[in-house]
Structure 1
Amino acid sequence: MTEAFYGTVKQLQSTCLMFPAFQTAFERMDANLRLYRKTGIAQNLLVLGESGTGKTTLARMFTERYPRHALIERDIVPVLYASVPAAATIAGTVEAILTQLGDLEPDRGTISIKTARAVKLAKGCAVEMLVFDEAQHIQDRGRSQSQYFVGDWLKAFIDALSLPVTLLGLPRTQRLLQVNEQLRRRFSHCVSLSTEPGNQLPDEADSIALLASLAEAVPLPLNPSPQGWGELGLRLHFATQGRIAYVKQLLVHAYGCAIDSGSNCITTTELAHAFTASIWPAGIGPLNPFDQGFQWRNLDRQGEPFQMGDVGTQPPRRSKH
């Protein structure tokens, strides 16, 4: 591959689309921070989305909008971003916070001592908002009692700081709030990053707009032949479920396939190879959305890339006809 190819891939991966749901979540976080600055009122937000819908990108973009800066006597951290560790113990969670606050010994002390230190450091660093990513790790603790203890600690920590908080996680994070009523009351506002809500049918135009926006970073044009743009948009929906990360993966591999074959455009042939290579190795023939024999259904059954399990109901199925 040439330097131009790698440059294109880098540009594509760094491209961030402010699609409507993403924009709504970003603006809501910003509004909560501005409200706190003006009135001292702390409002919280829960942001849910499947893997690849942009939750971590949202958290990082917002943190970068209000960057930390160093003074002689201390660091100022307007937005404190921390990722909940996979184990999601209370100790691990507070240690992750202490690390982001610059504590040199985040594992020192008991949980109560660590928590008190985190509160003191957060106030000393003038933190104005907490952003917790991977919140589903708390829910994944397994037993309701364990989930409750971690959730209860989080509630107490939030109350101690009295700051606006944004929790980002997979849809199953909602189960954590069902276990802990007090935590649920603190996160009554929720935004979904799903580009296509479960009660709606896929929109070919939205899918094509998403693909076309990202494809601007790719030197080769898209060629929808022989299906046309409407059908290509529907195939794209089934291939990615509207998840930005998957659309990027698809384009990167399709671009590489086109370069290897000497093609002057990206067609469904390259997209079919890219789907198998980057999204689902078993997605061949009728299980490949870009294959002429595709079954025209959501790939959400057991073992398929969009297997349902994080939400209670499945979205309506859509056939070609």
Structure 2
Amino acid sequence: MPNSNKVMLKEAISPDYWAFHGKTLESAERCYKYNQSRSFRNIFEVCIREDTAATKVEYIAQRLIPAVFERYNAICKQFREWEKLKISDMALFCENVTNINAELDLIDGHKNHKFIQTLKHISSIPHWIERLEELETVLQLFNIASNKDDWLKESIDSLRGDSLKGDPLKNNSMKLSQINSFFAKLGKNLSNVNNECWKLIKELSNADDFISFLKEIAEHDIKNLINGVDDHSDERLIQEGTVSSLIEVQRFLLPFMNNNKKETIKSFLDSLSDVINENPTLGEKIALCNSCNMALRNMYQSIENRGEATKEKIKNADF
């Protein structure tokens, strides 16, 4: 309490002095149980945005908080017939929630395993959209054509629902009864993709310029670049380890550069999983090379030009 050390005893024992705090105490006690609840916070944030009059503590305690609980309880009441609900009905409850069990602990009678699994899947939808779109980008980088059974595009469309770049939860009409089977099918299609492989996919999706460079030098032997680090290091921005990483990345990704190779999404992911199992740090090396992409290009071009100049001198030399 501000300036509480300056309050006189006579003021403190006056009923009127504590009247203001008494009005807020009930709301504070009621909210305390939910102080760690992300779902409750979601609803509170929406309510306070919608209520332009909620600018004073007394109003928030007496008007806004009851409205928040009314909305929160209305959402929870729907859980009795949760299989009839759509993802959009659960958007507020699940948005940014990382611990579904903790949220349901605050609600009586909703510890159904299937329901819990469904809510966990809903909370993970933005994460999965990001992953699948990164995979889609990588497939395009390596010219992996989609077939008639394009489960990847269908999965992204299903997760995005009616939104393009908007909120995928608030605009998704998929029934909750369909979610667990949807994710089971998705998991089957991605059965060989572990977390390390997803990290590799993420790095590849952010490295389109570097991948273009790799395609340009795909058939070139670049092992001799290591000898040119000192002379052509673009103001020594490139360390020997960076060039070693480039050589290794080229070696591992070269098979994917073959445009004549007809790959499916599954075979591509199988190959990518084999690569990451053989070299778990490949994603980090790609990230390093990508951050030095222009310097590596300049170095490669400089050494290539020097080689061409040497060949020309030999060709024109008199013997």
- Which structure would you say has the larger Rg? 2
Structure with the larger strand share: 1
Structure with the larger helix share: 2
TM-score of Structure 1 vs Structure 2, range by shorter chain: under 0.3
Structure number with greater CO (CA < 8 Å, separation at least 6) is: 1
Provide TM-score, normalisation by structure 1. 0.27
